[in-house]
Structure 1
């Protein structure tokens, strides 16, 4: 008997759809199709792949309203942010339309040979395990460069955004990509190890939690398969005494509250020097008070629910543990089912959950420090390594700190964010490997040395 599961609207609590998990024979059929498709797709001219990318961009643009509403309905994101996510996917595709041919060209290397170069050959079928918080963007930033490089892809998406997962496959097919070039599978976590052990799967890309990353890395290592891990974050946002709060406070608040705080690269620890601390708290609260909670399908809603009720429960535990250790709530901390009020916490110490763990929701931990030196030390006091942001009027001085930050990103007077033109990824327990830019296109290729003598 096949296993069924339901999706639910996190804002209304109402059931959306019922789906059936793929059986072993269903998965075998999809793996075989991927294998067959790859044998032809790998030989397809890059010009033809780029034309299909253009078709895909057009298809997404044509269905932008429907796709945005699907995101919002399944995971609760405000509709304006869902629309922005879809538009960013189109920008991503446009970037690779322009640059893919150049990125995949052979690199000529001068040696004693008549001719020597590096050739970039696709690996085969790549498995993607993706989360729910950016259900289109995180899939597309993997899929577009990976498939354009000549690979085929299989997506195992988060179950609460199954509608998004299935329509992404449909978008590829409707754009003219061969069947089997991009497929969605519906399976549970128990089936992932068996899938990764199959010879058809050549590598895996995971965006998810630290625990999921450890498990996937273990399975990939056991099977000697490449993996790319984009895991959690606990990004620091340093506010120095010369920061222009009037100019940047909207960005600073957005860095924490965008997507209701459900982002790995969100600012989670605000490290503020004492001279500007009181002014920062006052202005931060004022901006948070302006956020409008409501139905995420309403255009004027800027803050909505979390994607699942268990996420709100986990957040409450982290906050309560911190309060027990002496943290003070200066704003918010009301909860009802999937709703979690934007919350500002002070009197933070390094042993508290809101300092040392990833908080996946609208929780801002504000840490007062005595000096710039202490600010940078505190920022680096983390097992995570996705990104750090610094707000200051002296960007030249901040630039001298770049090498002191071990993270995968360092942003000055801007929130940490992903950009198709720049590589994206972390260090330490935030994962390894890079997506986007040229690095993302070459993440799953065989960098083959070719040496030719007459």
Structure 2
């Protein structure tokens, strides 16, 4: 039995049976049988389907945003834009997939030699709860436009969101079973990966879970793309636009109650402006409103689950016990739901828990660096390598630092974000492979070489 619980009230939203082993293999078979017809369509035909799905997403935006709010606590003022972003992703690949996958002629001893990009078959996407619509379409849109069919194993926290996503394809008149919803329990995932009809696996989630997925898929010699956790640094130098940097750092940290892999989690501040910038951060954090995610005035909703909140509080408590200062928040609230207060930890050092571990919640860590060299060293002193940011008025310094930061993407004087037009992914324990952009659509295709004489 799968149980979805409202993190605002703590009450059960829905209990629903997981598919049996026989049932989920049948559903994988449905997607497998849909592959031949789907991959045979032209790019324009597949694109028309994706654009119709995007229109259905927008038409159902309010209901989907409210469902996300109830199931995992995302404020509706964030949920609506998330649905729009998912729709844009579908439209973007509908318009650009053919160009990204066009045949490439290469010189050789043949009369004609070229590489063509062909779909692999049926894919398995294992998705997290923290951005139910966006992360689904980040997987679905490029995979489908390449000609693959998709099995979608969404998180048990968001069954309603997963159903609405699947229903959008039905309402759009998409060919049957090009996307199959797979509500199964976590222990069943290994068997799903091992199903011989699954050609490759896309996984978004924690590094621990990602390692397990990679091990199983590797034992079956199946390709994987892993987008895992992050402990993203945000370096702020004295010559930066400090107000703009503070605005963006706070926004990045508190989106989705801080439950984002690419949030700015470690704010590394040049020593001579450290106190000034900490005050700027605190003044902004103090204005944020926690509350009912269904209310448009709410800035921060609850943490998605009780166990996640407990772990977050452990990280804060251990960091304070090790000598950090808690300037704001840091207390476990009483009452229903899984709220955690906006928390600002200062004087954080490399050996402390919140520096070493990924913090998934509205907890900001401020770290002092004597100069840019120490700032880069601190930024890279992490097992993760997802995103990073640098704020400075020195353009040449920014370019040099961007090259040295160990991350899959770097933002200069801006927010680290995912964009359908640009590749996204990590290194080190943040995973491998790329999603989005022209690079993402080529992860799940066969780059086939053709030699003709």
Identify whether the pair has TM-score above 0.5, normalized to the shorter chain.
Answer: yes
Count of residues paired in the alignment:
450
CA shift digits 1:345-403 (9 cap, x unpaired) = 11212121100100000111111111121111111111100011011111321112222
2-structure distance, mates of 1:185, 1:53: 20
What SS does the corresponding residue of 1:80 show, helix, strand or coil? helix
* Separation (CA, whole Å) in 2 of partners of 1:230 and 1:184: 21
C-alpha separation in 1, matches of 2:404 and 2:128 = 31
1:251 and 1:154 mapped to 2: Cα distance?
Answer: 36
5 Å-filtered alignment, 1:360-375, equals: 360-375=360-375
Cα pair 2:2 2:185 within 8 Å, conserved: no
Q: Deviations over 1:159-216 (max 9, x none)?
A: 0101111221111122122222101111112111111111101110100001101101
1:215 equivalent in structure 2? 212
SS at match of 2:302: coil
Contact 1:240 1:273 in 2 (8 A): yes
Does structure 1 retain, via aligned residues, the 8 Å contact 2:100–2:441? yes
Deviation at 1:257, TM superposition (A): 0.9
Which runs of 5 or more residues in structure 1 are unaligned?
A: none
CA deviations over 1:192-243 (Å, ceiling 9, x no partner): 1111111101110100001101101100111100000000000001011112
What secondary structure is seen at the aligned counterpart in 2 of 1:271? strand
1:51 partnered with 2:43: no
| Residue in structure 1 matching 2:146, options 145, 149, 158 | 149
Checking the alignment, whether the CA contact within 8 Å between 2:94 and 2:145 is kept in structure 1 is no
List aligned pairs for 1:57-136, cutoff 5 A. 57-136=54-133
Measured in 1, the distance between the counterparts of 2:290 and 2:195 equals 46
- Cα offset for 1:15? 1.9
Pick which of 91-100 and 419-428 moved more: 91-100
**Correspondent of 2:272 among 272, 275, 279:** 275
How many Å separate the matches in 2 of 1:346 and 1:250?
18
C-alpha deviation, 1:122, in angstroms = 0.5
In the aligned structure 2, how far is the partner of 1:246 from the partner of 1:232? 28
Moved over 6 A (4+): none
The SS at the match of 1:393 is coil
CA deviation string 1:70-101 (max 9, x = no partner): 11111111111001101111221221122111
Would the aligned equivalents of 1:142 and 1:440 in 2 still touch at CA under 8 Å?
A: no
8 Å CA contact 1:126–1:151 kept in 2: the answer is yes
Q: Provide the residue aligned with 2:5 in structure 1.
A: 8
Q: CA deviation at 1:287?
A: 0.4
SS in 2 for 1:228: strand
Report the CA distance between 1:268 and its aligned residue. 0.7
- In 1, the alpha carbon distance for the partners of 2:89 and 2:396 equals 30
d(CA) in 2 for partners of 1:436 and 1:163?
25
Structure 2 segments unaligned to the other structure (5+ residues): none
> Match of 2:193?
196
Judge conservation of contact 2:43–2:94 (CA < 8 Å) in 1.
Answer: no
Decide which of 322, 325, 337 is 1:328's aligned counterpart: 325
Computed over aligned residues only, the root mean square deviation of the Cα atoms, in angstroms, reads 1.1
Cα shift at 1:333: 1.2
Residue 450 of structure 1: aligned partner? 450
Deviates more, 1:389-398 or 1:278-287: 389-398
Indicate the SS of the match to 1:49.
helix
Q: Within 5 Å, which residues of 2 pair with 1:313-352?
A: 313-336=310-333, 337-352=337-352
Q: 2:132 aligns to what SS in structure 1?
A: coil
Confirm or deny that 1:437 pairs with 2:437. yes
Q: Deviations over 1:400-438 (max 9, x none)?
A: 222211210111111211011100000000000000011
Shifted more, 86-95 versus 121-130: the winner is 86-95
Q: Match for 2:259 among 254, 257, 262?
A: 262
Residue of structure 2 equivalent to 1:232: 229
Normalising by structure 2, what TM-score? Answer: 0.97
* Secondary structure of the structure 2 residue equivalent to 1:290: coil
Query: Which whole-Å CA distance do the structure 1 matches of 2:365 and 2:130 have between them?
Result: 21
In structure 1, distance between residues paired with 2:388 and 2:55: 35
3-state SS of 1:95 partner? helix
Return the TM-score normalized by structure 1.
Answer: 0.97
Structure 1 equivalent of residue 355 of structure 2:
355
* More divergent stretch after superposition (89-98 vs 128-137): 89-98
2: CA distance, partners of 1:390 / 1:100: 32
**Separation in 1, partners of 2:136, 2:244:** 34
